[in-house]
Amino acid sequence: MRNGLTPIFSGAIAIHAPIRTGARIRQANIANVTDTNLISYEPATGEELWRGPVSDVDAAVSAARRAWAPWAARALTERITVLRAFANTVRRDAETFADLIAREAGKPLREARSEVDAVVAEVDIAVQAYAERTGKKKFDAGVGSSAALRHKPHGVMVVIGPFTFPAELPCGHIIPALIAGNAVVFKPSEKTPAVGEALVAAFHAAGVPADVIQCVIGGPDEGKALVVHPGTGGVLFTGSAQSGIAINRKLAANPGKIVALEMGGNNPIVVTDTPKLADAAAIIVQSAFATAGQRCTAARRLIVVESVYDALMAELVPLARKLMVGDPLGEPQPFMGPVIDNDTAEQMMESFVALITAGGRSLLNMRRSLPDLPFLSPGIIDVTEVADRPDIELFGPLLQVIRVPDLDTAITEANNTRFGLSAALIGGSPDDYGRFWANIRAGIINWNAPTNGASAKTPFGGIGISGNHRPAAYYAADNSAYPVTSTEMDQPRATIMVGLRP
Ligand code: SIN
């Protein structure tokens, strides 16, 4: 057990929160940008975790502009060697990274450890993707010439990261961008600056030059300044649809910049006939409540066909009630840590109440037992009777259940969203899955598997307001380099055959 851990019981839900003496406890947001400093607070304790000066965006971009060409001029193998050294640095310091991620993002240590493993694995995936997606090709173009396809870096890339996976998701852009020969100006979420700073320090320790990867500390103002900065060649963003759309709007008149937007979802998980309802319940819990529901691929809507509704709820609700919510570093490990800050906890509680007021039926009450800390227990509401269900991403451990007569209605209901990131079908036959797959609008479509836990070995992105058709992960290579086609001859050999005066 973590030092000073005190279990606090509220109804059926046990919340294990660490209580420390002498800590400076802040009761509102965890992240605070003052004029000169950014401060992050550990969500599980309210203690100040990190503080640092807000960066000068112009200075960072100018330094990156000077640095990228020499980096791009190095041999590809040399850049790859440096990035492999980065993977080794992270592997060596894995426990320190995991501890920092768990503290700053509030996710259980075991999840933070998987995130660190994923960062290490990203280097090999990006090396392979670079070769396969953006490699060189040469072919005969006739009359002694050849045609070549090569790729060039954009120059300075802006990477704006989320707090949910503060290391893995930004690295999914940073590593491909560096391999391609770009310099990167990385702005971590203002809620997870310490992880961002530690990552960039690891790149430097591995040999990436200081100005080739820089960490810009700041809040929305610094983010906006980076997005519109004329010295950058692209923006690779992971975060909310609202922020992504704002970025898109700001750059609408600037087609020269590549913009990759990975945004959220109002993701459906559909359950149809299956004898394996206990397994279905486990998949739903993993989809909706892993990382306290703070994944862009989390299931937000559970759509259940009438025939299995009662039996499924009899498995799901008791299982969700048993989930331990507590200190991310606690032993035994909780299923969920806190949400990221008190504002989020408050908004989630308000959303729960609003859905009930609109006609929802609570199957499992969401609770917030500690008023000053953002621990939430999972909530499940049947919203079948709610007219005009809001099509928004409720970013926390809240699952809305919709009962439907059959699979076709379930598919229609699943598509009843502007988002299109992730969707899953549980149960059914191969034909049912074929119908589901063909008709669902999403970038990730799974069968008998959670909506989340996407692999970095495949493209990661959605449609609708979940993305702009520039997926990350395996396809991030495409966003880091642009194709250049050349027709080439080793000597000028040309004659004008027609149209000449004698
Ligand atoms: C995320 O959804 O935020 C990360 C990837 C996943 O779990 O699928």
Q: What is the pLDDT of residues 300-330, one digit of tens each?
A: 999 999 999 999 999 999 999 999 999 999 9
pLDDT score recorded for residue 60: 98
Tens digit of each residue's pLDDT (9 = 90 or more) over 332-350? 999 999 999 999 999 999 9
DSSP H helices, 93-185, are 94-105, 109-134, 168-179
Assign 144 a pLDDT band (cuts: 50, 70, 90).
confident
Whole-angstrom distance, CA of residue 67 vs CA of residue 468: 29
- For residue 452, the CA-to-ligand 1 centroid distance in Å is 5
354: its two tokens: 């609003």
Active-site option among 296, 315, 393, 413: 296
Tens digit of each residue's pLDDT (9 = 90 or more) over 93-141? 999 999 999 999 999 999 999 999 999 999 999 999 999 999 899 999 8
Active-site option among 115, 168, 262, 413: 262
Helix-helix angle 168-179:193-206, to 10 degrees = 30
Assign 369 a pLDDT band (cuts: 50, 70, 90).
confident
Assign 142 a pLDDT band (cuts: 50, 70, 90).
confident
Other beta carbons within 10 angstroms of residue 113's beta carbon come to 17
Tens digit of each residue's pLDDT (9 = 90 or more) over 402-439? 999 999 999 999 999 999 999 999 999 999 999 999 99
Residue 1 has pLDDT above 90, yes or no: no
Backbone angles phi, psi at 355, to 5 degrees: -70, -35
Assign 4 a pLDDT band (cuts: 50, 70, 90).
very low
The type of residue at 349 is M
Residue 13 has pLDDT above 50, yes or no: no
Q: Is 196 exposed, middle or buried (0-12, 13-18, 19+ CB in 10 A)?
A: buried
441: its two tokens: 């609008």
- For residue 295, the CA-to-ligand 1 centroid distance in Å is 5
* Beta pairing partners, 355: none
Task: State which ligand 1 atom lies nearest to the alpha carbon of 295.
Answer: 3
Tens digit of each residue's pLDDT (9 = 90 or more) over 261-276? 999 999 999 999 999 9
pLDDT score recorded for residue 367: 97
Residue 243 has pLDDT above 80, yes or no: yes
pLDDT score recorded for residue 17: 53
Whether 190 is a known active-site residue: answer no
Tens digit of each residue's pLDDT (9 = 90 or more) over 30-43? 456 766 899 999 99
Helix (H) or strand (E) segment spanning residue 482:
strand 481-488
Residue 2 has pLDDT above 50, yes or no: no
Residue 443 has pLDDT above 90, yes or no: yes
204: its two tokens: 């430097």
- For residue 459, the CA-to-ligand 1 centroid distance in Å is 12
Kind of pairing between the strands at 183-187 and 156-160: parallel
Whether 296 is a known active-site residue: answer yes
Across the range 205-212, mean pLDDT stands at 98
Q: Which domains does the chain have, with CATH numbers?
A: 53-263+467-486 (3.40.605.10), 267-447 (3.40.309.10)
Residue 248 has pLDDT above 90, yes or no: yes
164 lines ligand 1 (CB under 6 A): yes
Residue 11 has pLDDT above 50, yes or no: no
Whole-angstrom distance, CA of residue 127 vs CA of residue 117: 16
65 lines ligand 1 (CB under 6 A): no
DSSP secondary structure of 452-498:
----TTSEE--SGGGB-S--EETTHHHHHEEEEEEEE-SS------S
Assign 16 a pLDDT band (cuts: 50, 70, 90).
low
Q: Considering only residues 142 and 74, tell me which one the structure prediction assigns the higher pLDDT.
A: 74
pLDDT score recorded for residue 23: 36
108: its two tokens: 């259980």
- For residue 290, the CA-to-ligand 1 centroid distance in Å is 10
Across the range 366-381, mean pLDDT stands at 96
Q: What is the dihedral of CA 201, 207, 209, 212, to 10 degrees?
A: -70
258: its two tokens: 């590549």
107 lines ligand 1 (CB under 6 A): no
The percent of residues above 70 in pLDDT, for the chain, comes to 93
Nearest-CA residue for ligand 1 atom 4 is 295
pLDDT score recorded for residue 143: 82
Whole-angstrom distance, CA of residue 5 vs CA of residue 489: 72
pLDDT score recorded for residue 18: 53
Across the range 371-391, mean pLDDT stands at 97
CA angle (187 as vertex; 460, 234 as ends), nearest 5: 60
Among 295, 422, 444, 457, the mutation site with the greatest number of ligand 1 atoms within 8 A of its Cβ is 295
- Coil, helix or strand at residue 181: coil
pLDDT score recorded for residue 35: 67
State pTM to two decimals: 0.93
pLDDT score recorded for residue 21: 35
- For residue 329, the CA-to-ligand 1 centroid distance in Å is 21
Mean pLDDT, rounded, of the chain:
93
287 lines ligand 1 (CB under 6 A): no
296 lines ligand 1 (CB under 6 A): yes
Dmax (CA) for the chain in angstroms is: 101
Q: Considering only residues 89 and 14, tell me which one the structure prediction assigns the higher pLDDT.
A: 89
Residue 233 has pLDDT above 80, yes or no: yes
Residue 484 has pLDDT above 80, yes or no: yes
Do 375 and 334 touch, CB atoms closer than 8 A? no
